Structure 1
């Protein structure tokens, strides 16, 4: 396989090669490939500078569509430099910030930076927290709008390509009509301008992040220089660990060795009842030992100082402790059940006794009750003849 040198490649091919490495760097790229991408972008940046493709006296309308993509070279270079793995990260952060600032300055000269982003704190101005928050919200909205627009352009291009392929299969394309069908310069220009707008938003966010990271690293470096390296040495940490371990060992040796009582559970109590060692109504006196949390010196209950008393109050469970054992709750439920059964038995006995006192109902009793009911019905019909209640409704009533 023949390997081409980057110096011999044309500018469009070299830029496309570097752009593929930049796109692949979002997932996982080794440092060697990352170095090749940085080298390719540096060659592209050098060639763009020598050719003088962009000028401070021009605007975005003066730049041709074919040259718009080369505005992204400093942005791609800044993002790839930021991902370089190096022991001393501060120089890496500075180089990445320089490239991003160069990209923002070129876009600002070409009127590609929104007015609210001009004079951002990353370029030297100081903003309040409210202003920074408003800028971030507006930047996020512009970024989402640019991503949606790029997706729309991509889908529109795919639909047009499918329609062109379908038309080519049905109607042959004559000589000279191919360029007319592939003439999408306006769409390409719109896509590159939207990509640059999206890159501007990402550049400002990345610039803020790199600046904060640099400040943190400088603060750590300054603290190390002031306090000395011995504060961060491994020997001091090992010595502290040994002191803590010895303290816990001495505290455990001072604590009395108490063997906890075997708890009586529902299972063991039920087994005792089945095997005859206990009765179902028998109440077992069993109290759980209180659980003490905290250092081993507090287990024995020797609260000699105010400090130990405060520690004993702190190391407590975050839930409510039970007020009775499991077998006590079971015995109480059994007691309630026995009372319920006794009450039901008493009610059944009372009902049976009242039934015996009244005596059984015979057939003669049923006949007498039916005759009495019929006589009452006849009497009521005599007192209330048919239609007596509707006299007021008739005209002559």
Structure 2
């Protein structure tokens, strides 16, 4: 049965509704906890670890007609697959060697990439064969008929965990672990394909939703750019002589007008201030050095300003500047006494 048939889509919609209800019940009951290991889970509960994978697989089978709808469906499937792989990571179901083989970034070299792909295919085939061998132990009839789909495999696994089944519990747990490993490998492949499809959908042109007749206003606008829009009356007289000036434009004038309208759009960064405003702002920030020139040459030095301020007798400021000038002169006298002239470089003397 094709997944594009209406009957199949009705089954898929019903399955998704049941799976959502099942996920809600699992979360309400708290079947899984990060504080326990895989061996501590009952085999009845361990089977429900497959629910996120099954939900993601069913989500990919939903029929879509537009790119936006397809993007929405594959993003939902991605969430389900990531939830499944995260759950197995929490219970440490997948060995580190398998993670390095299947979940590591693919090499850029084509020869190495081919080797990795072959190794992944052989590993998946070996896991699938191991699942079949394990299931045939407790049910010899299963060895003659391999499950055609993953859903058949889940169904047979559910029957193995039923209360009236006489198979050993450790064997069933081993089967469940092997199936989880197989579905984890397939989930990693689905996630890789989803990432590629997302990139394709993002680069795809927007879908044309208008299935009706073309809009006459658009063609009128294009025709208007081919020649100046007449303001009234005829453009030519009966002898073909122009009655007023006009400009003949190329047939691509409509494209040129559209490109021109896109110039300085909302995504362009236009100036927000004049040059004078920018320089004034930089001056306030102290990023512009001032001074120099004749004005700076004629300006008094700091010593001259201090000398002038200290001569203001009878004022508090004059007394403070006089005391400051006296300290500076005293410090300079002490420095010259400790460092007499000619004592700087004594290494090169003859």
Shorter-chain TM-score: which interval?
0.3 to 0.5
TM-score normalised by the chain length of structure 2: 0.46
Larger Rg, first or second structure (1 or 2): 1
* Higher relative contact order, structure no. (Cα contacts within 8 Å, ≥ 6 residues apart): 2
TM-score normalised by the chain length of structure 1: 0.41
